[in-house]
């Protein structure tokens, strides 16, 4: 029994006199950088609040002085947003709605070509060809083929033009909705009482982009009229098919000889048009769409941002109507934040003092954690790095995250 008691006393002495101080020393070292960071965050937020004007007129003057900075930030944010939206379309497939619309365009073109070839009528084409040369009763097979090429190209052009308009309309509508939901748009409305023509400009850019893309669509489909070089390559299916068509159709001079060659003509059209259409929808047209969007959004957005920056006088005039109320509300919010921050500082000091007392009892004075004294609160540093874009609310959010980590520790 005496041995057990002696062992218990020795173990207690070891834990209390040797191990406990070591554990507290390790704890203090771990907490030291965290406490320094939290202390600096509290002091920075406090000094920011202290540096704010405390009277309505002073706060109004302060906010008016910040107008240029705010207007520039709004313009910069708008440009960055446009650049981001362009990047999603041009450099990735992350704009799911746009990708869906473009795939719809591709499917419409493919489906339309299939329908045109299946429903191709030599009779209708024969009538169009003869109507162009009313004095003649005979239509050459090459005339039928020429009319067929014009017909298919023009019909595909109509589909591509319509699908391109729809693609642009949907993209700009979705873009405007995202712009309206952005923070900078709300700030712009607050400063000017309107969006400074953002909506009108987006509509104008949409119309210009549509017009440009329609021209590109017409140019693209106009090239379908010309046969591909491979169409006449010796030994290809198209050459064999062309010879077969010519041989069948040239056996007579009447309309019936043409009709008999209709299946072969359809096959010939399919052989030539499918590769051309594939080249358009899989390779050439998407870069054309991307370039059109870049041209009609990138530079114009920077021009609009500069125009926003020039609205200082209008912003002053508009804010003069609302600043009294806003300034009073801001002063109340600042005072409330100061009270909340003071409570957090007191809670921090109380926790630190408790740990420091234990450290001092164990003669670990060098490991004590930093407190926040009253003198610290009223001694402003010579230089304070303040980012105008940062709000006090963001600083408090950062502090709250730090506090959660401190509690967990």
What's the whole-number mean pLDDT along residues 208-236? Answer: 88
Predicted confidence at residue 385, as pLDDT, reads 45
Is residue 215 in some structural domain?
yes
Is residue 321 in some structural domain?
no
Most confident of the ranges 38-47, 114-123, 382-391? 114-123
Predicted confidence at residue 57, as pLDDT, reads 63
| Angle value at C-alpha 111, between 105 and 113, nearest 5 degrees | 105
Give the other-Cβ count within 10 Å of 270's Cβ.
19
355-382 pLDDT, tens digit each? 888 878 777 767 788 888 888 887 655 4
Average pLDDT, the chain: 83
Give the other-Cβ count within 10 Å of 18's Cβ.
10
Residue 79 pLDDT exceeds 80: yes
Q: How many domains does the chain have?
A: 1
Is residue 11 in some structural domain?
no
Distances (CA, A) of 381 to 40, 321, 349, 375: 11, 36, 21, 12
Is residue 295 in some structural domain?
yes
Residue 178 pLDDT exceeds 80: yes
Is residue 14 in some structural domain?
no
Rounded to two decimals, what is the model's pTM?
A: 0.66
119-169 pLDDT, tens digit each? 998 888 878 888 888 888 777 878 888 899 999 999 999 999 999 999 999
Is residue 258 in some structural domain?
yes
261 class by beta-carbon count within 10 Å (0-12 exposed, 13-18 middle, 19+ buried):
buried
Is residue 320 in some structural domain?
no
Cα of 202 vs its chain's centroid, Å: 15
Is residue 249 in some structural domain?
yes
Predicted confidence at residue 409, as pLDDT, reads 39
What domain range includes position 101? 94-303
181-205 pLDDT, tens digit each? 999 999 999 889 899 999 999 999 9
């Amino acid at each position: 029994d005496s041995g057990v008691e002696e062992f218990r006393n020795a173990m207690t002495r070891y834990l209390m006199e040797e191990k406990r101080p070591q554990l507290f020393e390790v704890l203090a070292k771990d907490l030291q950088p965290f406490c320094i960071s939290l202390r600096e965050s509290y002091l920075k937020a406090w000094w920011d609040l202290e540096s704010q004007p405390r009277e309505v007129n002073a706060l109004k003057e302060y906010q008016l002085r910040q107008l240029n900075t705010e207007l520039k930030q709004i313009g910069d944010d708008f440009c960055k947003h446009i650049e981001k939206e362009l990047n999603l379309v041009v450099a990735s497939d992350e704009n799911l709605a746009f990708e869906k619309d473009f795939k719809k365009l591709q499917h419409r073109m493919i489906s339309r070509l299939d329908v045109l070839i299946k429903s191709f009528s030599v009779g209708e084409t024969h009538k169009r060809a003869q109507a162009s040369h009313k004095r003649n009763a005979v239509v050459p097979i090459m005339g039928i083929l020429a009319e067929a090429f014009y017909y298919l190209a023009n019909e595909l052009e109509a589909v591509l033009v319509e699908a391109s308009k729809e693609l642009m309309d949907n993209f700009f509508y979705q873009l405007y909705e995202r712009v309206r939901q952005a923070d900078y748009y709300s700030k712009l409305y607050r400063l000017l009482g309107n969006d400074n023509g953002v909506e009108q400009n987006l509509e104008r850019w949409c119309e210009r982009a549509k017009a440009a893309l329609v021209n590109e669509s017409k140019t693209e489909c106009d090239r379908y009229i010309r046969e591909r070089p491979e169409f006449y390559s010796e030994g290809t299916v198209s050459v064999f098919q062309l010879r077969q068509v010519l041989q069948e159709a040239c056996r007579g001079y009447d309309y019936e000889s043409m009709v008999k060659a209709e299946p072969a003509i359809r096959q010939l059209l399919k052989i030539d048009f499918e590769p051309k259409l594939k080249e358009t929808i899989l390779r050439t047209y998407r870069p054309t769409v991307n370039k059109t969007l870049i041209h009609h959004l990138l530079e114009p957005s920077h021009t609009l941002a500069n125009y926003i920056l020039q609205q200082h006088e209008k912003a002053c005039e508009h804010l003069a109507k609302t600043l009294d109320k806003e300034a009073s509300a801001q002063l109340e919010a600042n005072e409330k934040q100061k009270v909340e921050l003071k409570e957090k500082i007191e809670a921090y000091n109380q926790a630190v003092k408790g740990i420091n007392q234990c450290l001092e009892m164990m003669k670990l004075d060098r490991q004590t954690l930093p407190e926040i004294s009253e003198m610290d609160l009223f001694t402003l540093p010579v230089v304070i790095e303040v980012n105008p874009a940062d709000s006090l609310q963001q600083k408090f959010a950062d502090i709250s995250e730090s506090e959660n980590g401190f509690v967990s520790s």
